[in-house]
A and B are shown apart, each in its own frame.
Chain A
């Protein structure tokens, strides 16, 4: 389904951290295209998305409707080398659940984004964990909106974003938005952006682990947070290895 035929600009709140130059010349039809997906009542479905460095600038948009009591899990690795945006628009009916594990990795001039909007029905729940590792002059962005309308009581929504900047010059932006109109809900959000923990690297060095290996272990543990909710151990390890693979060439 195509909608946006007017191109967004970085003056639009939802695109404020986007690559404005690329947007100005983007194909409006491609940009306005949404993949649509529906999860039937009570069903459990899982989606995986991977953006590799070679893919060029792009915007991937997915709209998911989860019927009552259903569950949708989405895991995404955004390792684009240019401007790459993964956008998810999720509607949860009564008692439905949405789980997101996202990783953004980038160096050079990469600008990677994960953007979510999750609209909760009554007793719906969601959990979003996004981790970004940036080096070079790259930028990692997470824009996450949690919507809880007035009649959606007993919602439990959580959102957590952390970014590690491996070098001066890299940056990250967090834009959590909570629109809560119901009064009996839990909604948690957290965001932290910082460098690798130097105390931990010294502790590891004091045990004989060289700085680069120590930083690799720390980054691995950091990224692993995003895949904690993957129950299947092999799948979880595969996702982690896939993500770590894109760290080659990072300033570790």
Chain B
């Protein structure tokens, strides 16, 4: 579903990704772990197409099409979702307005009919309930005044509403307390654990993987994947640290 081949990328002229290769098939959840500064967030931004993150070599195929040739909003319409480590605050734009615009822009890009206001609100309520986020929070400006945990839950509500086929989730577990972690983990499973979907989970800690069982775990260090394994690799890392395992 997502095929990354020998990916090299620079940020501000500095090479961060140095030949990263990774394949995630439909129906799979892969976890990427790695020390600070190894390039985890850069990977998510390169896949999402953030300006300033320049690919100098390599390829990224998404369902067989060249993802890097698409604009960021076209990647979203193609079915990609990016969960932000630091969700962005947008004063003056309500979540409801923002997400309805987003959902309908994606539908338009796929040649589908837009959702009516009523249809959209029904969908939003359902997904907010799934993530145990008060619906009233979605009437507020995007992420403004939200706690760290609320922002992350709101990211997952967005994912539920936008219904992507593939999600790259960058440290979605950071800033969550134990209860919220379970809610988010179960939300990811409910939304993304399907035969035609895939997830790339970027995380520092093993604990999210207790809820979202990965099919594979990769260790990213120095801009490339240096070790891959099954779920047991995450436990090994948690116990022994990166240095011992690498």
Interface residue ranges, A against B (CB under 8 Å): 198-200, 202-211, 213-214, 217-218, 220-222, 224-225
Interface centre among A208, A214, A217, A222 (most CB of B within 10 A): A208
Given known A-B contacts A207-B162, A210-B73, A217-B93, A202 and B51 have beta carbons under 8 A apart? yes
Q: Is B71 an interface position by the 8 A CB rule?
A: yes
Q: Is B236 an interface position by the 8 A CB rule?
A: no
Q: Is B92 an interface position by the 8 A CB rule?
A: yes
Contact of A202 among B72, B99, B105, B158 (CB under 8 A): B72
Contacts of A203 in B (CB 8 A): 84, 87-88, 90
Contacts of A206 in B (CB 8 A): 48-49, 72-73, 75-76, 81-82, 84
User: In chain B, residues 72-125, which have Cβ atoms closer than 8 Å to a Cβ of chain A?
Assistant: 72-73, 75-77, 81-82, 84, 87-88, 90-93, 97-99, 101-103, 105-106, 109
Interface centre among B82, B97, B101 (most CB of A within 10 A): B101
**Please, how many angstroms separate the alpha-carbon atoms of A229 and B35 in the complex?**
49
User: In chain B, residues 161-193, which have Cβ atoms closer than 8 Å to a Cβ of chain A?
Assistant: 162
Contacts of B87 in A (CB 8 A): 203
Smallest CB separation, B143 vs chain A (Å):
9
Structural contact, B92 and A224, CB atoms closer than 8 A: yes
Classify the secondary structure of B's interface with A. helix
Structural contact, B109 and A208, CB atoms closer than 8 A: yes
Contacts of A209 in B (CB 8 A): 73, 98, 101-102, 105
Apart from A203-B88, A211-B71, 10 more pairs, CB < 8 Å: A202-B48, A203-B90, A205-B49, A205-B72, A206-B75, A207-B98, A207-B99, A207-B158, A211-B73, A213-B101
Structural contact, B76 and A208, CB atoms closer than 8 A: yes
Contacts of A218 in B (CB 8 A): 90, 93
Structural contact, A205 and B73, CB atoms closer than 8 A: yes
Classify the secondary structure of A's interface with B. helix
**Please, how many angstroms separate the alpha-carbon atoms of A208 and B51 in the complex?**
15
**Please, how many angstroms separate the alpha-carbon atoms of A222 and B91 in the complex?**
8
* A-B interface pairs (CB < 8 A), number: 77
**Please, how many angstroms separate the alpha-carbon atoms of A209 and B98 in the complex?**
9
Q: Is B139 an interface position by the 8 A CB rule?
A: no
Contact of B102 among A199, A202, A207 (CB under 8 A): A207
Closest 3 CB pairs of A and B: A221-B92, A208-B76, A205-B72
20 contacts between A and B (CB under 8 A): A198-B51, A202-B48, A202-B50, A203-B87, A203-B90, A204-B90, A205-B76, A206-B76, A207-B102, A208-B73, A208-B109, A208-B162, A209-B73, A209-B102, A210-B71, A211-B73, A217-B90, A218-B93, A221-B92, A225-B92
Structural contact, B84 and A204, CB atoms closer than 8 A: no
**Please, how many angstroms separate the alpha-carbon atoms of A202 and B88 in the complex?**
9
Contacts of A220 in B (CB 8 A): 92-93
Smallest CB separation, A102 vs chain B (Å):
17
Given known A-B contacts A207-B158, A208-B76, A200 and B88 have beta carbons under 8 A apart? yes
Contacts of B99 in A (CB 8 A): 207
Contacts of A211 in B (CB 8 A): 71, 73
Given known A-B contacts A200-B88, A205-B72, A213 and B105 have beta carbons under 8 A apart? yes
